[in-house]
Amino acid sequence: MSLVAKQALVCWFAALALIVAALFAFIGAPGSPDGAGEAIGRVFANTGIAALICWVLARRKAPAWSWGRFVLVYAALVIVLAVVANAGRAHATEATASDSIAAGLARGP
């Protein structure tokens, strides 16, 4: 296994463990197993996609990326992907709320 693949896997699993631990420590356990599964699934996908993107960026670079550079690029990608994912969820929530308000107005009193 190449160094870049090892870097991607180590960063992925370390970030997954740290973020899940932080979620449960600061927010607490979700009220249902489905909520916990969704939260862990979102973190798993977000950190995995960041590892894949970082691996694609670093795999053919000469000289090979150091651990420090790989971790910094990976952390930046995780943050960017989290912001983009949350912005999409917020926009979807706003659209649903405005649709329900418009439906209530169309019905009348």
The tally of domains found in the chain comes to 1
- pTM score of the predicted model: 0.76
pLDDT tens per residue, range 46-93:
999 999 999 999 998 888 899 999 999 999 999 999 999 888 766 666
Taking the C-alpha atoms of residue 93 and residue 98, their distance in angstroms, rounded to an integer, is 9
Residue 78 lies in domain: 3-107
